[in-house]
């Protein structure tokens, strides 16, 4: 009944977490033009056949949706509530994040009053997952609690086990570590019982339970127990790789060893983990390894060796924009290191970088921001930054004191202040102009397509031009550009039913853009409009905003966002919030 994503994601200090989500596909692919029968004829098929058709067609989201719509239409006609709920689950798998919550609400509303083993708990679970992705941890916990009540009432032990696990993770995120430990102990006992009965099918469940419990022991400073559990998990993972990969147990062993001040063991385990992770794509956990290696060397008094590891973290974070609260400690160590070295330039640089990280953390972890252990909070960083700038300026003034008069000093300081003021005015003016431009573009009538100029081309017929323009119009009106699988002109050409060269020529002549600029402008303009008008959307994590805007990664989204308006997403959001009125 439940599936999990076996991805390891570090969330809190002293531990590593496995977040397993009820699988709801964010975006499905789109390959060839849809050529299937109408929904009316499809409703003649059985539910089992339609579900099989849907699963087989999933890589082609448009085709898969036709089968689901037929499934839904059939269930409504037959007034089959449970089948309707099932259809909404399928639609959720094909939809963007904001629609997933709506489908979850539809399932809850449909099944709230019926007696069924799986519903309405499944609806509450789906909603909890969406809320957790958005960083709304307390709201997610409320939905999980409701799901748990129904799972108990309906005696669904599989649901109860899965919900217990998710509640344990949320308890940890909310700082309730003792309660999480109790939950994960019980979870392991139940998982172990199933594993002993069927090792082939329950290795994933069991290793996940071991990993979660080892993490919980770390959080509660029970390091001996954590070591025993992690070694047991590693032993099983080495024999059967169908569950959590061995490298993550090795990493957890290294972190536990660091917490016990067993630095030789810690470095040995973490170095092995880094060697493996560098062959794959897991920058988040690579940063975690660098963090604990840097902390190990720092505790040993080997700051010169530690510093490069913290710099590696900064390099990855700047590139991926993927940060989490524990990374602050690395920046704080760098700031203190350069302060002791009296290296004001580098100290100022890492204060600025920490402020940038704090800005991202505020966007992505605002519901947990009060629990983050910070040596420097933002006001202190601002004050420290200003003092450093003042110190640097004083050093420069002293160096030039013999040749520069008091009058020139005043002029220099005034120029700096005036330049800063002008830059701030310029940024604000650009932002306001951008917002006005978006508002105007939303109210403008569309410019007539240059069909005449295109049709004169000996290579494209007037009929072909009209077909492409009509297809582009539907593409924009139906917001199909939000489908991240359409990443090339070939994908769009297949969707419209034309060839790549004709499509590229039409876009170039009619839009004065190449394909990449065309689709990125559509996506970024969509994001700008939502951010400007939707206060809830502005609270999303940057990753979630990227997904909602048609991008697979926050990095690609942020790069194109800055290219379009000259600001990063979190900077744009801050400017809107500062203005106090998203309409201005």
Q: Per residue, what are the HEC states of 490-542? A: HHHHHHHCCCHHHHHHHHHHHHCCCHHHHHHHHHHHHHHHHHHHCCCHHHCCH
552-570 as b/e, with b when 16 or more CB fall inside 10 Å? eebbebbebbeebbebbbb
pLDDT at 273: 93
572 vs 450: which has the higher pLDDT: 572
pLDDT at 29: 31
12: pLDDT strictly greater than 50: no
Q: If pLDDT is split at 50, 70 and 90, which confidence band does 442 have?
A: very low
Q: What percent of the chain has pLDDT over 70?
A: 74
Question: Residue 229 in contact with residue 213, Cβ under 8 Å?
Answer: yes
The DSSP secondary structure of 347-389, one letter per residue, reads HHHHHHHHHHHHHHHHHHSTTTGGG---SS-HHHHHHHHHHHH
Q: If pLDDT is split at 50, 70 and 90, which confidence band does 30 have?
A: very low
Model confidence pLDDT, tens digit, residues 168-226: 887 876 678 899 899 999 999 999 999 999 888 889 889 999 999 998 999 899 999 99
The rounded distance, in Å, linking the Cα atoms of 377 and 370 is 11
> Region 497-524: what's the mean pLDDT?
87
Query: What mean pLDDT value characterizes the chain?
Result: 78
pLDDT at 343: 86
The rounded distance, in Å, linking the Cα atoms of 142 and 124 is 9
Q: Is the peptide bond before 165 cis (omega within 30 degrees of 0)?
A: no
Please identify which residue in the block is written with the tokens 């099983």: 236
Question: Residue 313 in contact with residue 351, Cβ under 8 Å?
Answer: no
pLDDT at 240: 86
> Region 32-55: what's the mean pLDDT?
73
Q: Which of 184-198, 436-450, 548-562 is the least confident region?
A: 436-450
The rounded distance, in Å, linking the Cα atoms of 425 and 243 is 55
434: pLDDT strictly greater than 90: no
Q: If pLDDT is split at 50, 70 and 90, which confidence band does 36 have?
A: very low
39: pLDDT strictly greater than 70: no
> Region 349-366: what's the mean pLDDT?
74
Token couple for 564: 């379009």
31 Ramachandran zone, left/alpha/beta (phi>0; psi -120 to 50): alpha
Q: If pLDDT is split at 50, 70 and 90, which confidence band does 416 have?
A: low
Kindly give, in sequence order, each residue whose CB lies less than 8 Å from that of residue 537, ignoring residues fewer than 6 positions away. Answer: 98, 530, 531, 545, 548
Q: Which of 187-201, 341-355, 425-439 is the least confident region?
A: 425-439
263 vs 430: which has the higher pLDDT: 263
> Region 3-21: what's the mean pLDDT?
33
Q: How many CB atoms lie within 10 A of CB 191?
A: 23
Task: Give 451-579's CATH code, choosing from 3.30.465.10, 1.10.287.1080, 1.10.10.60, 3.40.50.300.
Answer: 1.10.10.60
Model confidence pLDDT, tens digit, residues 314-342: 998 888 777 777 888 889 999 899 888 88
Nearest by Cα to 170 from 154, 156, 184: 184
The rounded distance, in Å, linking the Cα atoms of 305 and 491 is 49
463 vs 455: which has the higher pLDDT: 463
Q: If pLDDT is split at 50, 70 and 90, which confidence band does 31 have?
A: very low
The rounded distance, in Å, linking the Cα atoms of 190 and 516 is 51
pLDDT at 385: 56
Q: How many CB atoms lie within 10 A of CB 301?
A: 9
**Three-state secondary structure string covering 251-306:** HHHHHHHHHCCCHHHHHHHHHHHHHHHCCCCCHHHHHHHHHHHHHHHHHCCCHHHH
290: pLDDT strictly greater than 90: yes
382 vs 472: which has the higher pLDDT: 472
The dihedral formed by the CA atoms of 197, 203, 207 and 209, expressed in degrees to the nearest 10: -50
> Region 569-577: what's the mean pLDDT?
85
**How many angstroms separate the first and last alpha carbons of the chain?**
48
The rounded distance, in Å, linking the Cα atoms of 561 and 568 is 6
Kindly list the distances between the CA atom of residue 183 and the CA atoms of 125, 156, 214, 217, 565, in Å, as whole numbers in the listed order.
18, 17, 13, 12, 47
Q: Which residues pair with 15 in a beta bridge?
A: none
Pairing label, strands 17-18, 8-9: antiparallel
Q: If pLDDT is split at 50, 70 and 90, which confidence band does 386 have?
A: low
497 vs 260: which has the higher pLDDT: 260
Kindly give, in sequence order, each residue whose CB lies less than 8 Å from that of residue 76, ignoring residues fewer than 6 positions away. Answer: 84
The rounded distance, in Å, linking the Cα atoms of 427 and 66 is 47
pLDDT at 509: 82
Backbone torsions φ then ψ of 474, nearest 5 degrees: -65, -40
Backbone torsions φ then ψ of 419, nearest 5 degrees: -60, -45
Q: Which of 6-15, 185-194, 230-239 is the least confident region?
A: 6-15
Kindly give, in sequence order, each residue whose CB lies less than 8 Å from that of residue 293, ignoring residues fewer than 6 positions away. Answer: 267, 270, 271, 274, 306, 309
Residue 395: exposure state from Cβ atoms within 10 A (0-12, 13-18, ≥19)? exposed
> Region 73-102: what's the mean pLDDT?
89
406 vs 90: which has the higher pLDDT: 90
> Region 391-415: what's the mean pLDDT?
54
461: pLDDT strictly greater than 80: no
Kindly give, in sequence order, each residue whose CB lies less than 8 Å from that of residue 194, ignoring residues fewer than 6 positions away. Answer: 202, 205, 206
> Region 150-171: what's the mean pLDDT?
86
Question: Residue 166 in contact with residue 144, Cβ under 8 Å?
Answer: yes
Q: Which of 214-218, 295-299, 505-509 is the least confident region?
A: 505-509
Kindly give, in sequence order, each residue whose CB lies less than 8 Å from that of residue 60, ignoring residues fewer than 6 positions away. Answer: 28, 29, 30, 31, 32, 34
Q: Which of 85-89, 118-122, 375-379, 539-543 is the least confident region?
A: 375-379
Token couple for 154: 């309906």
121: pLDDT strictly greater than 70: yes
The rounded distance, in Å, linking the Cα atoms of 581 and 576 is 7
Most confident of 43-57, 455-469, 531-545: 43-57
């Amino acid at each position: 009944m439940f599936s999990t994503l076996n991805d390891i994601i570090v969330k809190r200090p002293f531990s590593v977490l496995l977040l397993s989500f009820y699988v709801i596909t964010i975006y499905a692919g789109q390959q060839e033009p849809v050529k299937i029968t109408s929904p009316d004829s499809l409703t003649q098929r059985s539910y089992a056949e339609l579900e099989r058709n849907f699963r087989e067609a999933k890589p082609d989201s448009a085709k898969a949706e036709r089968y689901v719509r037929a499934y839904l239409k059939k269930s409504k006609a037959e007034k089959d509530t449970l089948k309707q709920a099932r259809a909404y689950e399928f639609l959720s798998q094909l939809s963007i994040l904001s629609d997933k919550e709506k489908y979850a609400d539809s399932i809850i509303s449909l099944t709230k009053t019926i007696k069924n083993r799986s519903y309405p708990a499944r609806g509450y679970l789906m909603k909890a997952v969406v809320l957790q992705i958005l960083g709304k941890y307390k709201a997610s916990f409320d939905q999980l609690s409701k799901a748990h009540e129904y799972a108990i009432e309906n005696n669904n032990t599989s649901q109860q086990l899965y919900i217990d696990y998710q509640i344990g993770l949320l308890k940890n995120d909310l700082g309730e570590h003792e309660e999480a430990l109790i939950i994960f102990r019980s979870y392991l006992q139940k998982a172990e019982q199933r594993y002993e009965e069927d090792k082939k099918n329950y290795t994933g469940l069991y290793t996940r339970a071991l990993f979660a419990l080892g993490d919980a022991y770390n959080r509660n400073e029970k390091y001996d127990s954590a070591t025993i559990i992690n070694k047991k998990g590693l032993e099983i993972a080495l024999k059967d790789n169908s569950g959590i990969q061995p490298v993550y147990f090795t990493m957890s062993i290294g972190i536990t060893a660091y917490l016990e001040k067993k630095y030789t063991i810690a470095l040995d385990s973490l170095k092995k983990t880094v060697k493996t992770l560098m062959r794959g794509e897991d920058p988040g956990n690579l940063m975690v390894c660098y963090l604990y290696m840097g902390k190990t060397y720092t505790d040993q008094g080997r700051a010169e060796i530690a510093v490069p590891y913290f710099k590696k973290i900064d390099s990855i974070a700047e590139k991926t924009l993927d940060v989490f609260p524990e990374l602050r400690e690395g920046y704080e160590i760098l700031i203190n290191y350069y302060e002791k070295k009296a290296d004001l330039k580098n100290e100022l640089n890492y204060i600025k970088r920490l402020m940038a990280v704090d800005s991202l953390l505020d966007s992505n972890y605002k519901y947990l921001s009060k629990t983050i252990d910070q040596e420097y909070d933002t006001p202190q960083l601002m004050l420290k930054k200003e003092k450093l700038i003042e110190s640097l300026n004083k050093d420069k003034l002293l160096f030039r004191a013999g040749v520069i008069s008091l009058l020139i000093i005043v002029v220099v300081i005034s120029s700096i202040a005036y330049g800063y003021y002008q830059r701030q005015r310029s940024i604000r003016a650009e932002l306001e102009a951008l917002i006005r431009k978006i508002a105007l573009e939303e109210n403008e009538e569309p410019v007539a397509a240059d069909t005449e100029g295109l049709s004169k081309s000996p290579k494209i017929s007037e009929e072909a031009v009209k077909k492409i323009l009509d297809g582009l119009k539907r593409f924009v009106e139906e917001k199909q550009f939000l489908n991240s699988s359409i990443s090339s002109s070939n994908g769009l050409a297949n969707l419209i039913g034309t060839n790549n060269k004709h499509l590229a020529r039409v876009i170039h002549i009619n839009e004065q853009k190449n394909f990449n600029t065309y689709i990125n402008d559509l996506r970024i303009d969509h994001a700008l409009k939502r951010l400007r008008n939707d206060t809830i959307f502005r609270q999303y994590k940057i990753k979630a905003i990227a997904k909602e805007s048609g991008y697979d990664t926050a990095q690609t989204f942020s790069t194109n966002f800055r290219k379009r308006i000259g600001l990063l997403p979190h900077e744009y959001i801050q400017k809107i919030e500062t203005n106090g009125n998203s309409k201005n």
